[in-house]
A and B are shown apart, each in its own frame.
Chain A
Amino acid sequence: MRRRFAPGTTIADLKAYMEPFAASLGYKFNTEEWFVDEVLDSEIEILDATGDVYCPCRVRTGDPKEDATIVCPCIPFHNVQFAAMRKCWCGLFILNDVEDGADLLGVIDEPEKGAEVEVPVCRVGDLPTGSVRHAKVGKRDIALARVGDDFFALSNVCLHAFGPLSDGVLDGYTVVCPWHGWRYDVRTGTTDHPGADVKTYPVVVREGLVLVVTTV
């Protein structure tokens, strides 16, 4: 089996791997290059000692499932908090529209519960019109649909037998559940089955990114 990171992995290797990954989620490396190099240098130390690039600012618990959520870049697991903080825990990654990453270094202030936040989930180009895909917003599973140039977000779980709506097909403004054909309006989350409507979330499109509006 070929390892993701071979022995002798360098800072340049990590940058090349992580940059497109982060960009697809609306993030870039901190503009403070010395800091980026220092964090990645620490990650290589951790890689050599443990076999993966765990976040140098978070502690590993020994539980593989929990520790997987701090493998760098850990943006998908913490995207609600990060969008509110405008950076990842340590500030290795910052939101695309942050001009000066120096302002975000040092302090780790977890956002207050209840604050409204726009969470980038993908780039406009990642979701062709007439299609639907899965997105993770914090712990919530979302079906993200595109009709023309309009984007819609709704809970991914069909309330019939809990099929994944993001694997369904889009028929106009209707997503059809892949399991048993229940139909939901992506604009409202409504279905013609009683009491089985699903939650929808506002969506914003900005600078080529699709952002789902939610609360921390």
Chain B
Amino acid sequence: MTVMLYALSTCPYCRMTKKYLDENDVEYDVIDVDLLEADERTVVVADVKNLSGGTSFPVLVVGEEVIVGFNKAAMKEHLGL
């Protein structure tokens, strides 16, 4: 199952989510959206809007599930932790 994290380098919930995934040995890809070059950022932000319906971070994509914010209960459920 692919796990993808869209994050901002400045966001407390993003840091908490990364820490939680690391502590639970979850393999995931991460993009810090605010650190992208302007053109690339526009494309990725559009992807995030499509996925989550907004521009709040983090957005964690677990297979078909999209989790916005630091939502431990949802992560546990969908990552099978």
Contact = CB atoms under 8 A, between A and B. Distances in A.
A14 B70 CA distance: 24
A56 B16 CA distance: 13
B12 A108 contact: no
A201 interface: no
B69 A106 contact: yes
B63 interface: no
Interface in A25-55: 35, 38-39, 42, 45-46
B43 interface: no
A15 interface: no
Contacts, number: 65
B69 A56 contact: no
A143 interface: no
A144 interface: no
B11 A110 contact: no
Interface in B22-70: 33-34, 38, 41-42, 45, 48, 53-57, 68-70
Interface string A97-120: 000000001111110000000000
Contacts of A93: none
Interface of A: 35, 38-39, 42, 45-46, 56-62, 89-90, 105-110
20 contacts: A35-B12, A39-B12, A42-B11, A45-B10, A57-B8, A57-B12, A57-B13, A57-B57, A59-B34, A59-B41, A59-B45, A59-B55, A60-B34, A89-B56, A90-B12, A106-B13, A106-B69, A106-B70, A107-B68, A107-B69
A61 B68 CA distance: 19
A108 B54 CA distance: 10
Interface string B1-28: 0000000101111101000000000000
Contact of B12 (A56, A59, A60, A107): A56
B78 interface: no
B71 A42 contact: no
Given A90-B56, A108-B13, 19 more contacts: A42-B11, A57-B11, A57-B12, A58-B55, A58-B56, A58-B57, A59-B8, A59-B34, A59-B41, A59-B48, A61-B42, A90-B11, A106-B13, A106-B70, A107-B69, A107-B74, A108-B69, A109-B68, A110-B53
Contacts of A61: 42, 45, 55
